[in-house]
Amino acid sequence: MLREERATMRDEFLAHPDTPKLLRGHARLVDRVLVGIWEESNMPPDMALVAVGGYGRGQLFPHSDIDVLLLLSEPPDELAASAIERFLALLWDIGLEIAHSVRTIADCEAEMKGDVTVRTSLLERRRVAGARAVCRRFDERFAATFDVHAFYDAKMLEQQQRHLKYHDAAYNLEPNVKESPGGLRDLHTVLWIARAAGFDSFVDYAFRLRERFDR
């Protein structure tokens, strides 16, 4: 199913290019596949499958890694670890390029304290399958430990360092359209900060506006 539907999406895109439609459709397709395999794999009832990063935002390029978090309240026991291993093996077997992490809520808190990129990725999380209660508890902990001002400072420093790495020049002969000044990552930074500050309506509007220009 996955290969055939991806081929259909590719053909439709080549006939009528529509990047936002392609990205959303691909994310929904992967959602369906993941949910089906999750339900067939008898995963532990206290575990959740969470989409993060661009996939969490509901936008998935055809050749992008599929970033997921397997979220638990407690460290996995032997049975849970075995189930996780089987689940991930199945995903690779059917051709899904998975980039995964297995963390407890406490692990996520510790990782976010030391790495703003982890917090940024989790900012755009969404539950795909599994335990809703675990996701709700994580939502509570994420909100309780979130410092908007510190996040803003960290993202601005990250942007400055990225600009220096790419020579702080928007008009290079061969600019990196994602990482260079004025590129896609700068737009993401604005939207991440807006979402962090609670302006979700602005973020939704900005993504819709960007989709109009992408067409």
Same domain, 35 and 84: yes
| pTM of the predicted protein model | 0.81
Same domain, 160 and 96: no
CATH label of the domain that carries residue 23: 3.30.460.10
Average pLDDT by stretches of 10, the chain with 215 residues? 82 88 93 94 93 91 91 93 93 90 95 89 94 96 89 85 72 68 78 78 55 49
Q: In the Cβ-directed half-sphere of 162, how many Cα atoms lie within 13 Å? A: 20
Same domain, 130 and 201: no
Kindly report, residue by residue over 118-174, the tens digit of the pLDDT.
999 999 999 999 999 999 999 999 999 988 888 888 888 888 888 877 765 555 666
Same domain, 153 and 139: no
Give the chain's domain count. 2
Closest CA to 187 of 144, 155, 147: 155
Same domain, 39 and 77: yes
Same domain, 180 and 206: yes
- The parent domain of residue 92 ranges over 2-144
| 3-class state of residue 76 by DSSP | coil
Same domain, 111 and 170: no
What pLDDT was estimated at residue 103? 96
CB 189 within 8 A of CB 120: no
Closest CA to 53 of 168, 207, 188: 188
Domain end: 119, 144, 169, which one?
Answer: 144
Instruction: Please state, in angstroms and as integers, the Cα–Cα distance from residue 83 to each residue in 31, 53, 74, 89, 90, following that order.
Output: 19, 24, 15, 10, 11
What pLDDT was estimated at residue 26? 93
Same domain, 19 and 107: yes
Same domain, 10 and 81: yes
What pLDDT was estimated at residue 114? 82
> Which residues 6+ apart lie within 8 Å of 102 measured at CB?
69, 70, 72, 76, 84
- How far apart CA 23 and CA 28 sit, in angstroms, is 9
